[in-house]
Amino acid sequence: MPLFKLYKLHLSPQRSYVKTLKNLLGFVPGNVSLYKMAFRHRSMAVAQKNGFKNSNERLEFLGDAVLGSVIAEVLFKMYPYREEGFLTEMRSKIVSRANLNQLSKKLGLVEVIEFDNKVINYPSKQGSFLGDAFEALIGAIYLDKGYDFTREFLISHIIKPHIDIHQLELTETNFKSKLIEWCQRHGKDVIFELINNAEGDNSKLFTISVNIDGEQFGTGADYNKKNAEKLAAEKTCEKLNI
C-alpha cells in the first residue's frame, strides 16, 4: 500500500474519518475535505462571503453531470439499436431521486451525512437529501480522483452490483401523470410553466416550473422539454411526498 494511504489510514489526524470512508466506498480518499463537503446538508452549512453557504449543493451539481455522462455511456453501449428517446427515459429512471435515495441507503451514506435533525420532521425537506448527497459524493470523487477513476467506481461499485437496468426498463415512473392525478383528486390547479433559465434566452435548455394553486413547487431543466417537465414533476412529487 502506498505511503500516503498508510499515513491517512493510520497516522493522520483524520484517520478515523478516512477509515469510515474507506469502509463505505472501498478506497482511500485523497482530499478528505471534499468528502466532508459532499456530506454536509444545507441545514448544517455555514454562511461564507456574499451569502454563499458551504453545503454540498455545488458538488451535487457537478456530480449530477458526471453521473449522467457515465450512465449515458453505459446505456449507449448496452442498447446499440434503441432510439434517443428510450435512452433518455432509461437514464431518467436510473438517476431519479427515488433511485438515488435507495442507492445512498445501500451504501450507508446516512452514517456520514451531516444534517439538522429537524429535516427528518418535514417530509418535504427530507425527500431528496440522501440522493443529493450521493450526487455530491460523485462530484467529490471526480475532483479528488479524476473522471476515469469515477467512471470505474460508478460502473464497478454502483451500477453492476446495485442497479438492475433491465428491471428498470419494465418499471413505469411517470411522475407527471402521478402529479396531475393527485391534483385532480385534491381539487388543485397545476401548471407546467416554461421559465427563463440561467444559460440565457438563446440557450436550447428548457427550464420548467411546476406551480400548484399559484405556488411554485419544483423546477426541472433539460435540453428536451418533455424531460424537463418530468424532472420538475418528480421534484414536486418528492416535496409533496406523493
The residues annotated with a catalytic role in the active site are 64, 135
**Cβ contact 182:172 at 8 Å:** no
Nearest to 154 by CA among 25, 30, 2: 25
Hey, what's the cell of 78?
448496452
Nearest to 60 by CA among 143, 123, 117: 143
Place of cell 451539481: 61
Helix (H) or strand (E) holding 118, with range, is: none
| Rg of the chain (C-alpha set) | 19
Distance CA 180, CA 188 (A): 9
Residue type, 78: M
Task: Please state, as a whole number, how many other Cβ atoms lie within 10 Å of the Cβ of residue 115.
Answer: 20
Hey, what's the cell of 155?
460502473
Nearest to 8 by CA among 25, 27, 139, 24: 27
Burial 120-149 (b: 16+ CB within 10 A, else e): eeeeebbbbbbbbbbbbbbbbbbbbbeeee
